[in-house]
């Protein structure tokens, strides 16, 4: 079982699994060309690719979109972010998927209106990834010089490979976690969803 391998072998297994998703590889390559500060491809397109590989599905099955996070606190205006989104739209033209690009330095400006709880300002893209509703989802990948993969996985990779969804009650409310988990279980019924902690 990959989730019980030493970490270096899990990282190699992650790269091998993600490399089966050719759309993801193209998104990584094109995002690198945008040279966004602190960027990562993150969220569902990563852990869901692994879930697909582990359960024998096509690598892209059930993946709704591909998320790109970056961090630029020099200009927090919507106009500045929209310029990046427009440039990304041109860069990703022709891909058969939606690629959503967001400046994580701006999340605190809209999060409470959307999710009902305040979000302290993030100080990095990594901090934004740390706040996903499930620790299993806290994963980011980017390409660096020479094609080197930079992998951010603050909670490790065992849960991803073991199909275990674990709550991360640092920001998103319980109902967000439970709604996401229920949606994932419809696509990947092999998932084990751990309950939200009750104090």
Mean pLDDT (10-residue bins), the chain, 199 residues: 73 95 97 96 97 97 96 96 97 95 96 90 97 96 92 95 96 93 96 92
24: closest CA among 96, 86, 91, 131? 96
Give a yes or no: residue 194 inside a domain.
Answer: no
Task: Give me the pLDDT at residue 94, please.
Answer: 94
Split into its structural domains, the chain has a count of 1
Instruction: Supply the pLDDT for residue 16.
Output: 96
Domain for residue 142, yes or no? yes
CA dist 3 → 10, 19, 138, 158 (Å)? 7, 18, 16, 4
pLDDT of residue 2: 67
CB 91 within 8 A of CB 34: yes
Strand ranges (E), 43-156: 66-70, 99-103, 140-143, 149-152
Could you tell me the residue range of the domain that residue 35 belongs to? 2-187
Residue 195, domain member (yes or no)? no
Asked if the structure places residue 87 within a domain, the reply is yes
**Is the residue at 199 inside a domain?**
no
pLDDT of 145 reads: 86
Compute the 3-state secondary structure of the chain and give helix, strand, coil in percent, each to the nearest 5. 50, 15, 40
Instruction: Identify the pLDDT of residue 1.
Output: 63
Query: Residue 196 falls within a domain, yes or no?
Result: no
- Residue 198: which of 175, 181, 174, 179 has the closest Cα? 174
């Amino acid at each position: 079982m990959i989730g019980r391998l030493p970490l270096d072998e899990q990282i190699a297994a992650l790269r091998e699994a993600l490399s089966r998703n050719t759309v993801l590889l193209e998104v990584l390559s094109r995002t690198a060309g945008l040279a966004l500060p602190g960027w990562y491809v993150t969220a569902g397109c990563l852990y869901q690719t692994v879930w697909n590989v582990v359960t024998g599905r096509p690598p892209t099955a059930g993946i709704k979109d591909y998320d790109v996070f970056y961090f630029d606190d020099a200009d927090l205006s919507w106009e500045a972010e929209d310029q990046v989104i427009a440039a990304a739209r041109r860069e990703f033209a022709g891909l058969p998927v939606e690629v959503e690009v967001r400046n994580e330095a701006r999340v605190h400006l809209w999060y409470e209106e959307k999710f009902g709880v305040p979000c302290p300002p993030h100080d990095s893209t990594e901090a934004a990834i740390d706040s996903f509703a499930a620790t299993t989802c806290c994963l980011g990948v980017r390409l660096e010089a020479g094609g080197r993969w930079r992998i951010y996985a603050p909670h490790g990779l065992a849960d991803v490979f073991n199909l275990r969804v674990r709550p991360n009650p640092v920001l998103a409310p319980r109902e967000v976690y439970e709604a996401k988990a229920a949606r994932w279980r419809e696509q990947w019924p092999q998932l084990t969803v751990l309950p939200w902690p009750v104090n």
